[in-house]
């Protein structure tokens, strides 16, 4: 039964193109975990028949917008859900077309794990390298390499093993290599349902876990370093007009803990002002709690009256982190209009927004070869190393140290569109 | 030390974070409240986000005039208990003004909600509407952003959405444009019911099994009401039903059920074979793309 209230959340993404059977893998996961309900299934059966197919085409489960059906492609990230009683899963389903690098980057930004699909007949392709590079760039720590379509190579163990060896060899050379990742391999046939949820009868030689078992068993918990508190203030609550007189002087600073631990009586420092105080109370709504952990949305009150507003950050009082006005980062450019060094952009980072200028485009990564190239401008889906100069100081960490305080988006000042996203690299 | 949030705590925390981003970034937001289960979850999330302070936004109901009286009474009592402010924007006012012209008197009014919503947004100058839509409801919703941009005409352009990465939400708009924010995007119907159980949320009683006069029409159970009368040659039955969604009477159908507690509903939700909209929304069955179409026209 699904009625477990104490399970955790795992967010993952799938990388691959239509030809790798990505949609079929997702369809199979949803179908075999009984997430697909009768009415959806009968819709899919109808469509499969209309297309003249003998079997039900599970890839149709992830079929999305009218515009996509018309063109036979997926144009945007879709989010899908299933639950096993042990975990709630959120799948970011990103289209595999190479012109949609931005979708893959978007999907990867919230994923803890990436499933990289390889067609068993084709082995490692350029796109496999691209997917691996982007997963690493976005700081995904867990990768499952699923060699699909095993049924089309007669479930050949030797061929599967050689693909795994090839993968291990090239993966080592893909930067950023400083962040170690946990890689697992498995052979599957999404079409036949082998090793997705059920083991099937065709690969007795494979003794490892099925895809679902890998997902169920994955340990995503990380050591919480108490001292690395990052608490960006989102909103300040001052219920002065409240009828309750006791609340007249009440002030709470609201936000979500990006990292570290926060306990009542902890001494904290407010950045950028540098004022020090201690935590008087931590609450979620009307409920008082003693300590808060990463990803928890809370409100805190301090022992002293200090002027704090949205965009400020609480850290532990002896943390040496400071503010910066220049930084370098890897940027993925989304907009049709090229990035221009002559323009001013807005950078949104934690709860802070600052105007920014580009001081230099250091190099671009050729997404096919993964080599660095010199360029003067950035076009849609380009990935590049860029240096910025900021109007407001920001409190940042390196992205590979802290996703929450190392990530930023770039917004066009006049259209307000999100035109790029980036990951900060600080030099030690 | 290692600790992870449970899935309900995680979902709640994400929703609180999104609401506070709306409060922090937008100058005049509003929360769309219908009295339904999803918007009741939103209100509980808002309490956890902003108490002991007031909500930094009013609630607004787009009233088609075809609502179950139990739901309307519940809506008013709920807002009163919270001590917050409710705006009711009525389709019937738009009809009087002439901005909504029904093809016939008994035409379902659901799709016209967009017109009244857009008029209310303009009248009050709202720059953001917080809604209780979920991505698991429908395939056009599965592709929608948590902060979804709408142009001056309220239109959603699925091919040109703002990329949304990490938890960095871009809610910036020009005057006349609008953000629709969906804090419970990542919740499923099951999550909603589990949250209702955990938080002991009160719901309008039509969510629970009760006796009701119905007719069976085109694979659906249609409740017999003054706006959905019995047609010729139809057989009226009185059976145990509950509503899985509540909305405009003419397009919301109940399901046969004897689940009269939240616990029983959770059990039923875990074993059902029909999706929430498939069972209960008469308006989405018209065409495969009807939700997508409505959203392009300004529907939330």
SS3 (DSSP) at A93: strand
Could you give the CA distance from residue B145 to residue B165 in angstroms, rounded to a whole number?
Answer: 10
Least confident segment among A289-298, B54-63, B159-168: B159-168
Are residues B228 and B215 in contact, defined by beta-carbon separation less than 8 angstroms? no
Query: Which chain B residues touch A242 with a CB distance below 8 Å?
Result: 52-54
Q: Are residues B30 and B121 in the same domain?
A: yes
Q: Are residues B154 and B30 in the same domain?
A: yes
More confident residue, A1 or A173: A173
Q: Is the pLDDT of residue B281 over 60?
A: no
User: Could you tell me the sign of the dihedral formed by the alpha carbons of B241, B86, B140, B191, in that order?
Assistant: negative
User: Could you tell me the sign of the dihedral formed by the alpha carbons of A101, A107, A109, A111, in that order?
Assistant: negative
Nearest alpha-carbon partner for A230 in A256, A266, A265, A267: A256
Could you give the CA distance from residue A311 to residue A308 in angstroms, rounded to a whole number?
Answer: 9
Q: Are residues B153 and B185 in the same domain?
A: yes
Q: Provide the token pair at B72.
A: 């309307």
β-strand A324-333 against B86-90: which pairing, if any?
unpaired
- Report residue B15's pLDDT band, with 50, 70 and 90 as the boundaries: very high
A/B interface, count of CB pairs below 8 Å: 208
- Report residue A4's pLDDT band, with 50, 70 and 90 as the boundaries: very low
Q: Is the pLDDT of residue A77 over 90?
A: no
- Vertex B212, ends B208 and B215: CA angle to 5°? 125
Q: Provide the token pair at A236.
A: 């300040």
A371: exposed, middle or buried (Cβ count in 10 Å: 0-12, 13-18, 19+)? exposed
CATH superfamily of A231-316: Translation factors (2.40.30.10)
Interface contact flag, B278 A40, Cβ < 8 Å: yes
B264 lies within 8 A of chain A by CB: no
Q: Is the pLDDT of residue A308 over 70?
A: yes
The mean pLDDT of B114-120, rounded to a whole number, is: 92
Identify the residue among A234, A257, A259, A310 best suited for mutation to test binding to B, counting B beta carbons within 10 A and taking the highest. A234
Are residues B244 and B279 in contact, defined by beta-carbon separation less than 8 angstroms? yes
Q: Provide the token pair at B83.
A: 């001590």
Q: Are residues B13 and B104 in the same domain?
A: yes
Q: Are residues B161 and B225 in the same domain?
A: no
Which residues have a Cβ under 8 Å from the Cβ of B133 and sit 6 or more positions away?
B38, B141, B144, B182, B184, B185, B300
The mean pLDDT of A336-359, rounded to a whole number, is: 95
Q: Are residues B119 and B177 in the same domain?
A: yes
What is the CATH number assigned to the segment(s) A324-425? Answer: 2.40.30.10
Q: Which helix (H) or strand (E) holds B63?
A: strand B59-63
- Report residue B158's pLDDT band, with 50, 70 and 90 as the boundaries: confident
For residue B244, is it within any domain?
yes
When divided into structural domains, chain B yields a total of 2
Query: Which chain B residues touch A106 with a CB distance below 8 Å?
Result: 163-165
Query: What are phi and psi for residue A316, nearest 5 degrees?
Result: -65, 150
Q: Are residues B174 and B260 in the same domain?
A: no
Query: Which chain B residues touch A37 with a CB distance below 8 Å?
Result: 272-275, 278
**Helices assigned H by DSSP within B51-210:** 69-82, 91-97, 113-124, 189-199
Q: Answer yes or no: CATH 3.40.50.300 is held by domain A8-217.
A: yes
Are residues A256 and A295 in contact, defined by beta-carbon separation less than 8 angstroms? yes
Question: How many CA atoms lie within 13 Å of A121's alpha carbon, on the beta-carbon side?
Answer: 9
**Helices assigned H by DSSP within A72-206:** 101-109, 126-137, 157-172
Least confident segment among B20-29, B228-237, B285-294: B285-294
Q: Are residues B36 and B173 in the same domain?
A: yes
Q: Is the pLDDT of residue B288 over 60?
A: no
Query: Which chain A residues touch B53 with a CB distance below 8 Å?
Result: 237-239, 242, 252
pLDDT of residue B300: 63
Q: Are residues B110 and B237 in the same domain?
A: no
Which residues have a Cβ under 8 Å from the Cβ of A337 and sit 6 or more positions away?
A412, A419
Query: Which chain A residues touch B163 with a CB distance below 8 Å?
Result: 102-103, 105-106, 334, 409, 418, 421
Strand order in the sheet with B147-150: B86-90, B59-63, B29-32, B128-130, B178-181, B147-150
Could you give the CA distance from residue B201 to residue B63 in angstroms, rounded to a whole number?
Answer: 23
Are residues A397 and A424 in contact, defined by beta-carbon separation less than 8 angstroms? yes
Interface contact flag, B6 A6, Cβ < 8 Å: yes
B20 lies within 8 A of chain A by CB: yes
Residue with tokens 């179409």: B293
Q: Are residues B221 and B262 in the same domain?
A: yes
Could you give the CA distance from residue A92 to residue A15 in angstroms, rounded to a whole number?
Answer: 10
For residue B46, is it within any domain?
yes
Strands (E), A285-351: 287-289, 291-292, 297-302, 313-316, 324-333, 344-349
pLDDT of residue A23: 82
The mean pLDDT of A130-139, rounded to a whole number, is: 91
Interface contact flag, B20 A234, Cβ < 8 Å: yes
**Helices assigned H by DSSP within B125-163:** none
- For residue A189, the cross-strand partners are A194
CATH (domain of B62): 3.40.50.620
pLDDT of residue A203: 97
Q: Is the pLDDT of residue A327 over 90?
A: yes
β-strand A352-365 against A372-373: which pairing, if any?
antiparallel
For residue B36, is it within any domain?
yes
Q: For residue range A375-418, what is the model confidence (pLDDT) as tens digits?
A: 988 999 899 999 999 999 999 999 999 999 999 999 999 999 99
The mean pLDDT of A4-21, rounded to a whole number, is: 78
SS3 (DSSP) at A404: helix
Q: Which of A2, A81, A411 sits opposite B136 (nearest CB)?
A: A81
Q: Provide the token pair at A280.
A: 């008087």
Could you give the CA distance from residue A165 to residue B237 in angstroms, rounded to a whole number?
Answer: 67
CA distance B94 to chain A (A): 30
pLDDT of residue B290: 64
Q: For residue range A136-176, what is the model confidence (pLDDT) as tens digits?
A: 999 999 999 999 999 999 999 999 999 999 999 988 888 76
B260: exposed, middle or buried (Cβ count in 10 Å: 0-12, 13-18, 19+)? middle
CA distance A343 to chain B (A): 19
Q: Is the pLDDT of residue B184 over 90?
A: yes
pLDDT of residue B161: 87
Identify the residue among A1, A31, A76, A102 best suited for mutation to test binding to B, counting B beta carbons within 10 A and taking the highest. A76
Which residues have a Cβ under 8 Å from the Cβ of B271 and sit 6 or more positions away?
none
Are residues B138 and B189 in contact, defined by beta-carbon separation less than 8 angstroms? no
What's chain A's average pLDDT? 88
- For residue A357, the cross-strand partners are A344, A389
Query: Which chain A residues touch B10 with a CB distance below 8 Å?
Result: 8-9, 295
Instruction: State ipTM.
Output: 0.93
pLDDT of residue B253: 86
Q: Which of B5, B142, B194 sits opposite A295 (nearest CB)?
A: B5
Tell me which chain B residue has its CA closest to the CA of residue A408: B168
Q: Provide the token pair at A330.
A: 């890897």
User: Could you tell me the sign of the dihedral formed by the alpha carbons of A331, A334, A340, A345, in that order?
Assistant: negative
Q: Which of A63, A297, A408 sits opposite B16 (nearest CB)?
A: A297
Length of chain A: 428
- Report residue B244's pLDDT band, with 50, 70 and 90 as the boundaries: confident
Q: Is the pLDDT of residue B273 over 80?
A: no
Q: Are residues B183 and B239 in the same domain?
A: no
Q: Is the pLDDT of residue B8 over 90?
A: yes
Identify the residue among B2, B5, B6, B7 best suited for mutation to test binding to A, counting A beta carbons within 10 A and taking the highest. B7
Query: Domain range for residue B230?
Result: 202-280
Interface contact flag, A224 B1, Cβ < 8 Å: yes
The alpha carbons of chain B give a radius of gyration, in whole angstroms, of 19
Could you give the CA distance from residue B127 to residue A141 in angstroms, rounded to a whole number?
Answer: 38
Which residues have a Cβ under 8 Å from the Cβ of A210 and sit 6 or more positions away?
A186, A195, A196, A197, A198, A199
Interface contact flag, A235 B140, Cβ < 8 Å: no
Q: Is the pLDDT of residue B33 over 70?
A: yes
Count CB neighbours of A341 within 10 A.
13
Q: Which of B2, B17, B49 sits opposite A224 (nearest CB)?
A: B2
Which residues have a Cβ under 8 Å from the Cβ of A319 and sit 6 or more positions away?
A227, A228, A229, A269
A244 lies within 8 A of chain B by CB: yes
Q: Where are the domains of chain A?
A: 8-217, 231-316, 324-425
Q: Is the pLDDT of residue B167 over 70?
A: yes
A407 lies within 8 A of chain B by CB: yes
- Report residue A68's pLDDT band, with 50, 70 and 90 as the boundaries: low
Q: Is the pLDDT of residue A237 over 80?
A: yes
Interface contact flag, A8 B273, Cβ < 8 Å: no
Sequence-separated contacts (24+) of B213-220 with Cβ below 8 Å: B213/B237, B213/B238, B214/B238, B214/B239, B214/B241, B214/B254, B220/B253, B220/B282
pLDDT of residue A369: 85
The mean pLDDT of B198-209, rounded to a whole number, is: 95
B161 lies within 8 A of chain A by CB: yes
Could you give the CA distance from residue B21 to residue B19 in angstroms, rounded to a whole number?
Answer: 5
Q: Are residues B166 and B209 in the same domain?
A: no
Nearest alpha-carbon partner for A348 in A277, A426, A407: A407
Domain A8-217 matches domain A324-425 at the CATH topology level: no
Query: Which chain A residues touch B139 with a CB distance below 8 Å?
Result: 63-65, 78
pLDDT of residue A75: 67
Identify the residue among B2, B4, B295 best suited for mutation to test binding to A, counting A beta carbons within 10 A and taking the highest. B4
Length of chain B: 300
pLDDT of residue A220: 83
Tell me which chain A residue has its CA closest to the CA of residue B146: A79
A50 lies within 8 A of chain B by CB: no
Q: For residue range B125-147, what is the model confidence (pLDDT) as tens digits?
A: 999 999 999 998 887 888 889 99
For residue B85, is it within any domain?
yes
């Amino acid at each position: 039964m699904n009625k477990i209230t104490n399970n955790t959340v795992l967010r993952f993404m799938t990388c691959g193109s239509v030809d790798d059977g990505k949609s079929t893998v997702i369809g199979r996961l949803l179908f075999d975990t009984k997430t697909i309900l009768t009415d959806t299934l009968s819709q899919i059966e109808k469509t499969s028949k209309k297309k003249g197919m003998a079997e039900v085409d599970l890839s149709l489960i992830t079929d999305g917008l009218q515009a996509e059906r018309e063109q036979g492609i997926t144009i945007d990230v879709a989010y899908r859900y299933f639950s096993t009683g042990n975990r709630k899963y959120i799948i970011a389903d990103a289209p595999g077309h190479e012109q949609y690098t931005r979708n893959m980057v978007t999907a990867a930004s919230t994923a803890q794990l990436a499933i990289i699909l390889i067609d068993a007949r084709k082995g490692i392709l350029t796109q496999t390298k691209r997917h691996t590079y982007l997963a690493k760039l976005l700081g995904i720590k867990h990768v499952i390499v699923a060699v699909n379509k095993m049924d089309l190579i007669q479930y050949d163990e030797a061929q599967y093993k050689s693909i795994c060896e090839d993968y291990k060899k090239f993966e080592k050379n893909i930067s950023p290599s400083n962040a170690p990742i946990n890689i697992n391999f498995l052979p599957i046939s999404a079409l036949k349902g082998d090793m997705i949820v059920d083991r099937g009868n065709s690969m007795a030689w494979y003794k490892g876990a099925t895809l679902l078992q890998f997902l169920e068993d994955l340990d995503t918990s990380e050591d919480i370093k108490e001292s690395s508190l990052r608490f960006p203030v989102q909103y300040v609550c001052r219920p002065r007009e409240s009828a309750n007189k006791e609340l007249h002087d009440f002030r709470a600073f609201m936000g979500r803990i990006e990292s570290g631990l926060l306990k009542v009586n902890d001494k904290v420092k407010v950045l950028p002002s540098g004022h020090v105080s201690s935590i008087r109370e931590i609450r979620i709504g009307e409920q008082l709690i003693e300590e808060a952990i990463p990803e928890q949305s809370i409100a805190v009150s301090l022992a002293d009256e200090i002027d704090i507003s949205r965009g400020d950050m609480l850290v532990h009082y002896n943390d040496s982190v400071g503010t910066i006005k220049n930084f370098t980062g890897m940027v993925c450019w989304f907009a049709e209009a090229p990035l221009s060094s002559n323009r001013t952009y807005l950078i949104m980072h934690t709860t802070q927004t600052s105007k920014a200028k580009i001081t230099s485009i250091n190099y671009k990564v050729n997404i096919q070869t993964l080599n660095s190239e010199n360029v003067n401008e950035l076009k849609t889906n380009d990935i590049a190393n860029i240096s910025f100069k900021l109007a407001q100081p920001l409190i940042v960490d390196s992205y590979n140290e802290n996703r929450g305080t190392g990530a930023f988006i770039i917004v066009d000042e006049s259209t307000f569109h999100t035109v790029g996203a980036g990951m900060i690299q600080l030099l030690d | 030390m290692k600790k992870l949030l449970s899935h309900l705590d995680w979902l709640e925390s994400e929703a609180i974070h999104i609401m506070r981003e709306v409060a922090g970034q937008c100058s005049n937001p509003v929360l769309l409240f219908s009295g339904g289960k999803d918007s009741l979850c939103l209100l509980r999330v808002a309490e956890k986000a902003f108490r002991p302070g007031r909500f930094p936004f009013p609630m607004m109901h787009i009233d088609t005039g075809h609502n179950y009286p139990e739901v309307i009474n519940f809506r008013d009592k709920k807002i009163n208990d919270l001590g917050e402010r409710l705006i009711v924007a009525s389709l019937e006012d738009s009809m009087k003004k002439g901005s909504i012209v029904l093809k016939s008197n008994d035409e379902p009014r659901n799709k016209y909600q967009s017109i009244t919503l857009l008029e209310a947004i303009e009248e009050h100058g709202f720059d953001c509407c917080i809604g209780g839509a979920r991505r698991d409801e429908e395939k056009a919703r599965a592709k929608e952003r948590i902060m979804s941009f709408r142009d001056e005409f309220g239109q959603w352009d699925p091919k040109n959405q703002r990329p949304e990465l990490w938890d960095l939400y871009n809610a910036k708009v020009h005057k006349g444009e609008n953000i629709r924010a969906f804090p419970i995007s990542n919740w499923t119907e099951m999550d909603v019911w589990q949250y209702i159980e955990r938080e002991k949320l009160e719901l309008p009683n039509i969510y629970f099994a009760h006796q009701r006069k119905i007719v069976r029409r085109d694979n659906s159970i249609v409740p017999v009401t003054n706006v959905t009368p019995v047609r010729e040659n139809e057989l009226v039955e009185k059976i145990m039903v509950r509503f899985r969604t509540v909305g405009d009477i003419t397009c919301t159908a109940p399901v046969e059920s004897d689940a009269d507690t939240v616990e029983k509903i959770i059990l039923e939700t875990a074993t059902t074979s029909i999706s929430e909209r498939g069972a209960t929304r008469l308006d989405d069955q018209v065409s495969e793309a009807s939700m997508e179409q409505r959203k392009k026209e300004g529907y939330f």
